[in-house]
Chain A
Amino acid sequence: MKYLLAIYGDEKAQENIPPDQQEEFMAGWFKFDEELRSSVNVLAGDGLQPTGTATTVRFKDGGTVTSDGPFAETKEQLGGYYLIDVDNLDDAIKAAGMMPNLPFGGSVEVRPVQVFEQ
């Protein structure tokens, strides 16, 4: 089954991590990425630029409206994702549980990918 692991965290708190710890934090991600790809089938995975760089597109009065900022202002922001293919939810939860942002108060939302029967 395919699952999207949506990685959430508090951007502001992450920006405030001192540089030396920042490096350590990133090293944690690289190590995790390597481990994950060697243990499960990773279809895609990326980190995202902060929500300050986000642009939202909506439809209004018959035309598209483009505006600055994320879809919604929330306490935690989407910061990255993995798309994995594993046997069941437990395997997806296990992969999510290894994410290095969790000890820093982040969270991972595990969502099954919708399958359309042909």
Chain B
Amino acid sequence: MSNTSAVTERVFREEYGRVFATLVRVFGDFDVAEEAIQDAFLVAIDRWPDSGVPPNPAAWITTTAKRKAIDGYRRERVRAEKYAVLAGASSNGHQEIDILEDSSLQDDRLRLIFTCCHPALAIEAQLALTLRTLGGLNTREIARAFLVAEATMAQRLVRAKRKIRVAGIPYRVPPDDLLPERLAAVLAVIYLIFNEGYSASEGDDLIRHDLCAEAIRLGRVLIALMPDEPESRGLLALMLLHDSRRDARISSSGEPMLLEDQDRLLWDRSQIDEGLRQLTFAERRRRPGQYQIQAAIAGEHAQSGTPDQTDWPRIAMLYGLLTKLNPSPVVELNRAVAVAMAMGPEYGLEIIDSIRDELDPYRWMHSTRAELLRKLGRYDEAREAFLHALELAENAAERSLLNKRLHEMEGTSRGAR
């Protein structure tokens, strides 16, 4: 019995997006599709323990959900007709629904992704809708993952669905002239979901890790649907390579671990291999983009057995490419680190000084500057930078890491004097 319910749950998680996307196309309405799919799963929970799981559970759910939705329409139509008679008006009824048309199942999910990530929706709404409809997460799970009240998240979803309907956001894969811009929006949403889970500094870690897994799953779906888009593959590679370090990123006492201090034996080898494979595949198209470049950087780290073996000149070069494509002071800060490692701390410091004002509120700029000043033996300035970073630190774990670096330096600097 419990085996059946586990299967039902698995089918729910894995097939929700697929089934939902088809139902939205058939019925043209998010709410009708959602209700129908819930009804169908209730039937499954009721029947499968006795009848056994059907050979193609997704098809079974889709068919049952369609039947449920049509029943709902019929009931509504009967009600509407009665009302019409009472009101003395004639009823237009509903359009006939073609339930036999079941081709291009894959296109349905792609349509759904583009609809959920439409730029006319607020970014929070895009994230929530994508997780709700394609990921099959329920409102409570999404609310917990984004650290907002369930009622707030429910409201957000209702508003977003209403806007899709009322504002006429089309349910389609955008035409060629809109595709590059809209695909970029889809990739951004998937990457935001991933980062929401990856850079979690508070909240329930387990749920947050689910977000990483969910983003990777969505990335895979996108590649299955649009295999020729190198940036989609670049994004998947990037997420796989980052996520491969998840077990090494937090020490046993719960502190964040810097890349150079991580136990590289804890990195997930098979995930690294897959990430590198996806990246190679993407790079063959010879259409570089920000995700491919970031994946290439993560790939360099992943392939270095020890921090000393890291190919810093290549990483510095890759950050240079990224800066040209996507100029941002944070990317420049990362380039500064790579340049410092490749050529010496003074060269890195030179880059940081050029973006110092812009990044003044950014704690990592101060901590990075502190590290480089320490390496140059400029201990007084380093201490000042560490203290500045400490002031800006956002949580206890960050503060404890910074304090540790500061104390290590005080030890060395005293020794040096």
Is B88 part of the contact surface with A, judged by Cβ < 8 Å?
A: no
Nearest to B178 among chain A residues (CB) is: A90
Is B120 part of the contact surface with A, judged by Cβ < 8 Å?
A: yes
Are A88 and B169 interface neighbours, CB within 8 A?
Answer: yes
Give every chain A residue within 8 A of B118 (Cβ-Cβ): 89
Number of A positions contacting B (CB below 8 A): 11
Is A44 part of the contact surface with B, judged by Cβ < 8 Å?
A: no
Count of chain A to chain B residue pairs whose CB atoms are closer than 8 Å in the complex: 24
Alpha-carbon gap, A37 to B85, bound state (A): 43
Is A112 part of the contact surface with B, judged by Cβ < 8 Å?
A: yes
Give every chain A residue within 8 A of B168 (Cβ-Cβ): 1, 3, 87-89, 92, 112
Nearest to B169 among chain A residues (CB) is: A89
Distance in Å: Cβ of B20 to nearest Cβ of chain A: 20
Distance in Å: Cβ of A74 to nearest Cβ of chain B: 22
Closest 10 CB pairs of A and B: A88-B170, A1-B168, A88-B168, A89-B168, A89-B169, A112-B167, A89-B167, A90-B170, A112-B166, A112-B168
Alpha-carbon gap, A92 to B120, bound state (A): 12
Distance in Å: Cβ of B113 to nearest Cβ of chain A: 15
Are B167 and A90 interface neighbours, CB within 8 A?
Answer: no
Chain B interface (Cβ < 8 Å from any Cβ of A) = 89, 118, 120, 166-170, 174, 178
Is A17 part of the contact surface with B, judged by Cβ < 8 Å?
A: no
A–B Cβ pairs within 8 angstroms, 20 of them: A1-B168, A87-B168, A87-B170, A88-B168, A88-B170, A89-B118, A89-B120, A89-B167, A89-B169, A89-B170, A90-B169, A90-B174, A90-B178, A92-B168, A93-B120, A110-B167, A112-B166, A112-B167, A112-B168, A118-B89
Give every chain A residue within 8 A of B89 (Cβ-Cβ): 118
Give every chain B residue within 8 A of A90 (Cβ-Cβ): 169-170, 174, 178
Give every chain B residue within 8 A of A118 (Cβ-Cβ): 89
Give every chain A residue within 8 A of B178 (Cβ-Cβ): 90
Known contacts A88-B169, A90-B169, A90-B170; can you find 6 more A-B pairs with CB under 8 A? A1-B168, A87-B170, A89-B167, A90-B178, A92-B168, A112-B168
Alpha-carbon gap, A89 to B166, bound state (A): 10
Nearest to B166 among chain A residues (CB) is: A112
Distance in Å: Cβ of B3 to nearest Cβ of chain A: 46
Distance in Å: Cβ of B120 to nearest Cβ of chain A: 6
Nearest to B177 among chain A residues (CB) is: A94
Alpha-carbon gap, A84 to B118, bound state (A): 21
Alpha-carbon gap, A87 to B167, bound state (A): 11
Which of chain A's residues 61-118 have a Cβ closer than 8 Å to chain B? 87-90, 92-93, 110, 112, 118
Nearest to A117 among chain B residues (CB) is: B92
Alpha-carbon gap, A92 to B168, bound state (A): 10
Give every chain B residue within 8 A of A92 (Cβ-Cβ): 168
Nearest to A92 among chain B residues (CB) is: B168
Distance in Å: Cβ of B64 to nearest Cβ of chain A: 30
Q: Which of B89, B168, B170 is most buried by chain A, counting CB atoms within 10 A of its CB? A: B168
Give every chain A residue within 8 A of B174 (Cβ-Cβ): 90
Nearest to B182 among chain A residues (CB) is: A90
Q: Which of A1, A3, A89, A112 is most buried by chain B, counting CB atoms within 10 A of its CB? A: A89
Alpha-carbon gap, A89 to B120, bound state (A): 9
Give every chain B residue within 8 A of A112 (Cβ-Cβ): 166-168
Nearest to B175 among chain A residues (CB) is: A90
Alpha-carbon gap, A87 to B175, bound state (A): 14
Distance in Å: Cβ of B234 to nearest Cβ of chain A: 26
Alpha-carbon gap, A57 to B295, bound state (A): 60
Alpha-carbon gap, A93 to B174, bound state (A): 13
Alpha-carbon gap, A87 to B169, bound state (A): 10
Alpha-carbon gap, A87 to B172, bound state (A): 12
Alpha-carbon gap, A92 to B118, bound state (A): 14
Nearest to B118 among chain A residues (CB) is: A89
Give every chain A residue within 8 A of B166 (Cβ-Cβ): 112
Contact with B along A8-25 (1 / 0, CB 8 A): 000000000000000000
Distance in Å: Cβ of A3 to nearest Cβ of chain B: 8
Alpha-carbon gap, A118 to B120, bound state (A): 29
Give every chain B residue within 8 A of A88 (Cβ-Cβ): 168-170
